[in-house]
Structure 1
Amino acid sequence: MRLLRLLPFILLLVLLHGCAKEKDFPEVQNYPIIRTLEVLPDSTGSTIRGEIVSLGNEPVTEYGFEYSAISNSKGVSRKIVGTTATTGEYEARLTDDLVKGYTYKIQAYAKHGQNITYGTALPFKSQSTAIPVIHSFSPKAAEDNRPVTIYGKNFGEESYLVKVTIGNAQATVMSVHRDSVIIRTPTVSYSGSFPLSMTVRGERITAPEAFEIIGPQITHLSASSGMPGDELIIYGNNLGYSYPGTYVAIGGKKANILSQTNTEIKVRVPKGTSSLYDQALTVAVYRGNKTATFPYSYTLESGFKVASSLPSATGVTQTRLPSFVADGKAFFFSFDRVISHTIASNLWKNEGMFPGIYRHNSIFERVGDKAYLIGGKNGNTYYGDVWEYDYRQNNWTRLKNLPLAVQNATSFVLNGKIYFFGGQNNSSNIKVWQYDPATETVVALSNFPASTSGGHTFESNGIVYAMDGIELWAYDAQQDSWSQKASLPGISFFTNTQAFTYQNEGYAIGQRDDYALYRYDAIKNEWTKVAWYPGCTSGVNFYGFASEDKLYIGTLGTCSSTLYSYEKR
């Protein structure tokens, strides 16, 4: 009965509602009504169905589905179905950003104006995993330990499930997003172009283009050969690319960098050791942990050539080996014998035994068609005897003794007389003595400016020069006086120096430091490096001689028996 009494009031409310105008309910008319109907997962993806029940007054500009893993609500993906909506059901196929076994929530949506209206969220568990894809990366090239962003899709959100390699080297993964991964390039010792690959949840993919690991590259050199001190330009790429501390080596020897750009490096060719001369060496540019090599591309020239090998049968000792040149031969006195070297044929010969007491450190000088052996020592005994040697007949004649004993003196020939000084003797070791073979007499002259032992001399433009270590002194025969000239540069002071007269100029080579052959310019009073001795120099003494067209230098010792020739350029 009570229900019958309320029925007229209910009918009245229905009539009033049916007669209401649109302006009385604006919100109901502006927003569309959206429904999420169902999700159907399968082994290759998921099919989703939704419905637009009504559109409302604002135009729908986009509609589709939004979904995200329940474990990561911020990683929302959107599947757009259309941009012009009508009422009715719609569906879409999801294959991106899904991982098998993960639970997702999905809801239909419609965008209108500045607003989005959603349907009910439905959960579903994926039965498939989306295959990751790399579209591109930036930058395309980088040095070690630099950030690079990889663009694509289906990368997921878990960084521990993503690995990236460039070539065979693993990069550091900095962050992972569904459509991008940021890495830091690996530190490797090489450079070049290599494939960039990514493994996501066990799926391995490779970028469509290679990634370039930036490092130095050598393309060519300005010269294929040269000598120490020359300038060499190395051409290439990334030679100075934003990295300090670059250095260059030629045959393992560090070269001084004169200038450097990204495409070329100018260096000063370093001095070498005996094992590096006159063979093709590798040029290398070191920048950080990267190395660019140009193998066997540069020959470090010594300026010498192999002339002959001193045979052991000659019996040469490892001490001072005085010599002179006559009749196309070089003659050497060695302890107990004379040894000859025929210059044209490079043949060695033992000329015969010395008839006197065997000795070292004698004076052996040629005057005219005879040679003279003066003094020397055997053990602790010094000698003052004089012997004349006929090098054509190969015989000896003993002459009158000197009034003093002398050994290891410095000597030279001037105007048919033999001058000697220094060394050790039982008179003054700084007094200059003049010996006249014609009269077999000796005269004391002025003193040499310094105490010296085992010095050498050369002649240039009629003036005699004496080397005392690295110091050079010129002798004025008319005034019987000495004047100091330019010292040999770049060599330690305490060193034995061998000097030679070659084509009316002075040459000297020291037994330390870079073993360079120097030429003396008497007019300019300066020395110039012209060659580098390529033979063994360990614990040895230099010996040599000059012919008309070449200078010959060798070393006495157990490590080398090679005689080298130098020809003036």
Structure 2
Amino acid sequence: MMKIRYAHIGLLLVSVLFGACNLNKNPFNSEAFPVLETLKMFDITENSVTVRGRILNLGSEPVTDHGFVWSRLESPALPNDGHGSLGKATTEGEFSFVITELKPGLTYYVRAYARTAERLVYAAPVRFRSGGSNHIVIERFEPLMGTWGDTLYIYGRNFGENQSLIRAYMGGEFMKIVSAKDGIQLTCIVPEGAQGDSVPIKVVSPGHGEATSSRMFKLIGPEVSSIEPTEGNFSTLLTIRGKRFDERLEYNKVLIGGKESEILDGNTDWLQARIPPELDHSPATVMVERRLSTDSAEEKFRILPPQILALSSEKLQLGDTLTITGLNFHPLPGQNHVMFDIRQAEVVDASVDALKVKVPEGPYQRRRFPLSLEIFGNTTQSQMLLTLNKWVQKPDLPLALSGAIAFVLEGRVFMGLGNGNGGNVKDFWTYSSATSNWSWVSSLPGEERQQAFAFTIGEYAYIGGGSNNGHFLNDFWQYHAANNSWQRLADIPGPKGKKVAFELNGEGYVLNYLNGEQGFWKYDAAQARWVAGPTFQFDGLYHAPEVGFSIGGAGYVIGMMGDRFDGECWQYKPELDQWQRMGDLPRYSAGMRIQVFQGNAYALVGHRLERNIYVYDHASDSWSFYDYFGGSTRYGCATWVESGRMYVGGGVLENRSRTSELWEYEPNP
């Protein structure tokens, strides 16, 4: 019987391959099986061999015994063939035996086994041939570690006398043999192609077989000691100093922040490389790789913060291209984050010292603001910029609304009522043009509604009319901004129809219409009463008044001429207490608004008006085309004037969806 000289257990990861023999249980219940494999042999001599196996999975049943079985036959088996037991196994991993008293020059088969109470499982067998009396034996090598090009000494016996016939390998790569001495020593050079941290040594010689070392040679890769400079920009050339770099530059790889860099020059102890344009963070680790071995510098390379030195213009037209010159920009456009107020700009071209950006359309919180540039968390700002566009989109309303009203009371903007996507509302918000923020303030105590009217007298706002769920309302309310309170006043006289209103000389006027019945009423705020006024008959096929406004000491009402697209315009003069037909608005539209601004009346935002704006000169009683609205066609908006600017918010778009957009108009930005 062959004897077991020693045994030990180790760990190694390899592919799974096993065979099995079952006792009394279903062999396909793989969860219960221990899974194991037979590994490659080491240290084959004429009368001994180191055999190795590994348990990949212990299975669900305790392993009471494991070891090896061997024979001259292809499928050695217990109990009749040679075997060695290691006893029970409690952990997964590698195990090995040294089997002695082999006969020289013969072929053997060996396989690992594991036994449970109910099963005996075999791994696939591995074949080996024992050495003859002159079989190669590797006893040791030195040094145990080194790098490519180093000298390696291998000691043993039976290497052979003819150096030209001996072959030495490191991890599969051929090693150059410098000298062979008396068949017991080889002097070799560590090959450039060797890869991996730990690799085996193998010697092959005709007539002497082959042998593989039981120990591994540790390959020592490049060593990075320093980088200079440690900060710069994307035009900086980085010098990396260290040891064991390859003198052939193409066999080195420099990674900065994980991105491969172009190597420009170098030798075994220094390399010069560019900062890769793909770098996407800072600071970044600098690593050198040679033959899959790597080392990194302790210090990281940092991209310097960007600096803006000049702009091609300080006055902007939205949609134009602006050139920014400066220092330390990113050469990839998408890595430069340029902000115009609250809007991120598209960077269309980039280099380390110049950026070309498209000025975004909006929305904006301010017309005057600095441009900001952020790269890798570092931010810089330019001098103040000015948008030259008359119309600028601002941050949205708090709700997408149509048919809302707005008024300015004691320097504060209020907007409310209208129809949202969920129905009519009765909420009011206040707007700060300085911060472009909206704040909820109150709710009308009465019904929700849309298409109401509002005017202000002194410290009070007056709100009334409108419609809710298909019926018109006649209630009338007073709002006091100072204490955020509401008071219901006497209802509006006359029919419950559509109403338009205007304020004139500290008094409010309301025109009320329903199915041809018309009423015109003045509200005397001092006496808190309604006073009937004169009415008139529209000349056209009149449906309803659309909008009212006051300018130049007179009030105006515009209604539709049903057989034409013109807007029929009537003027009321309080000193005469009568109405007079005036020049027609060239293009009437339902849902339009007329806003008095800087001494003129502007008709805008109605779906038939499209984006056209018409201005009314009350002195000459004439309407003319003025300009285009900054946004798309819409109607049913809220408009107001505050701090020398006109605002248009909300409304219904051409696709019949409500919008929360807010637009600001400044005629001379």
Kindly indicate whether the alpha-carbon contact (under 8 Å) linking 2:500 and 2:546 is maintained by their aligned counterparts in 1.
yes
Which of 437, 454, 457 is the equivalent residue of 1:326?
A: 457
CA apart distance, 1:468: 6.2
Deviations 1:23-76 (A, max 9, x none): xxxxxxxxxxxxxxxx98446478879xxxxxxxxxxxxxxxxx9955789865
Instruction: Kindly provide the amino acid, as one letter, of the partner of residue 206 in structure 1.
Output: D
Kindly indicate whether the alpha-carbon contact (under 8 Å) linking 2:546 and 2:590 is maintained by their aligned counterparts in 1.
yes
| Unmatched tracts of structure 1, length 5 or more | 1-38, 50-66, 80-90, 106-122, 286-290, 520-526, 530-569
Instruction: Kindly provide the amino acid, as one letter, of the partner of residue 239 in structure 1.
Output: F
Aligned match of 1:362: 499
Which of 459, 472, 487 is the equivalent residue of 2:627?
A: 487
Which of 432, 442, 457 is the equivalent residue of 2:579?
A: 442
Task: For 2:563 and 2:519, locate their aligned partners in 1 and report how far apart those are by CA, in whole Å.
Answer: 13
Which of 270, 274, 287 is the equivalent residue of 2:360?
A: 270
Task: For 1:491 and 1:100, locate their aligned partners in 2 and report how far apart those are by CA, in whole Å.
Answer: 71
Give secondary structure in 2 for the equivalent of 1:447: coil
Which of 505, 518, 522 is the equivalent residue of 2:665?
A: 518
Which of 196, 209, 213 is the equivalent residue of 2:287?
A: 196
CA gap of 1:248–1:444, structure 2 versus 1, over 3 A, is same
Deviations 1:217-240 (A, max 9, x none): 6578999xx999599998986534
Structure 1 residues 161-560: aligned runs within 5 Å = 190-196=281-287, 206-208=295-297, 210=299, 212=301, 218=306, 239-241=329-331, 243=332, 248=337, 250=339, 253-257=343-347, 260-263=350-353, 265=355, 267=357, 270=360, 272=362, 292-293=376-377, 303-304=434-435, 309-315=440-446, 317-335=448-466, 336-342=474-480, 345=482, 347-356=484-493, 359=496, 361-376=498-513, 381=515, 383-404=517-538, 407-414=544-551, 416-423=553-560, 430-437=567-574, 441-459=578-596, 462-467=599-604, 469=606, 470-477=611-618, 479-480=620-621, 482-495=622-635, 499-500=639-640, 507-509=646-648, 511=650, 515-519=662-666, 527-528=667-668
> What is the TM-score with the length of structure 1 in the denominator?
0.51
Quick check: which has more Rg, 1 or 2? 1
CA gap of 1:319–1:234, structure 2 versus 1, over 3 A, is farther
CA gap of 1:458–1:43, structure 2 versus 1, over 3 A, is closer
Kindly indicate whether the alpha-carbon contact (under 8 Å) linking 1:406 and 1:426 is maintained by their aligned counterparts in 2.
no
Kindly indicate whether the alpha-carbon contact (under 8 Å) linking 1:166 and 1:196 is maintained by their aligned counterparts in 2.
yes
Deviations 1:286-315 (A, max 9, x none): xxxxx7445899999964555863412433
CA apart distance, 1:507: 2.6
CA gap of 1:488–1:510, structure 2 versus 1, over 3 A, is farther
| Unmatched tracts of structure 2, length 5 or more | 1-138, 146-150, 155-165, 180-184, 205-210, 385-393, 396-432, 467-473, 654-658
Task: For 1:370 and 1:331, locate their aligned partners in 2 and report how far apart those are by CA, in whole Å.
Answer: 11
Which has the larger displacement, 309-318 or 365-374? Answer: 309-318
Task: For 2:343 and 2:167, locate their aligned partners in 1 and report how far apart those are by CA, in whole Å.
Answer: 62
Task: For 1:397 and 1:329, locate their aligned partners in 2 and report how far apart those are by CA, in whole Å.
Answer: 19
Task: For 1:259 and 1:47, locate their aligned partners in 2 and report how far apart those are by CA, in whole Å.
Answer: 55
Aligned match of 1:153: 244
CA gap of 1:492–1:205, structure 2 versus 1, over 3 A, is closer
Which has the larger displacement, 324-333 or 431-440? Answer: 431-440
Kindly indicate whether the alpha-carbon contact (under 8 Å) linking 1:221 and 1:232 is maintained by their aligned counterparts in 2.
no
Task: For 1:262 and 1:186, locate their aligned partners in 2 and report how far apart those are by CA, in whole Å.
Answer: 10
Structure 1 residues 61-100: aligned runs within 5 Å = 69=168
Kindly indicate whether the alpha-carbon contact (under 8 Å) linking 1:130 and 1:154 is maintained by their aligned counterparts in 2.
no
Kindly indicate whether the alpha-carbon contact (under 8 Å) linking 2:333 and 2:348 is maintained by their aligned counterparts in 1.
no
CA gap of 1:351–1:170, structure 2 versus 1, over 3 A, is same
Task: For 2:281 and 2:578, locate their aligned partners in 1 and report how far apart those are by CA, in whole Å.
Answer: 76
Give secondary structure in 2 for the equivalent of 1:193: coil
CA apart distance, 1:325: 2.6
Total equivalences in the alignment: 410
CA apart distance, 1:373: 0.8
CA apart distance, 1:374: 0.2
Aligned CA-pair RMSD? 6.3
Instruction: Kindly provide the amino acid, as one letter, of the partner of residue 270 in structure 1.
Output: P
Kindly indicate whether the alpha-carbon contact (under 8 Å) linking 1:339 and 1:348 is maintained by their aligned counterparts in 2.
no
Instruction: Kindly provide the amino acid, as one letter, of the partner of residue 445 in structure 2.
Output: T
Instruction: Kindly provide the amino acid, as one letter, of the partner of residue 285 in structure 2.
Output: F
Give secondary structure in 2 for the equivalent of 1:320: coil
CA gap of 1:313–1:331, structure 2 versus 1, over 3 A, is closer
Give yes or no for the alignment of 1:134 onto 2:223. yes
Deviations 1:363-401 (A, max 9, x none): 212233432110245xxx465111221122322234454
Instruction: Kindly provide the amino acid, as one letter, of the partner of residue 487 in structure 1.
Output: D
Which of 88, 91, 102 is the equivalent residue of 2:201?
A: 102
Give secondary structure in 1 for the equivalent of 2:590: coil
Instruction: Kindly provide the amino acid, as one letter, of the partner of residue 375 in structure 1.
Output: N
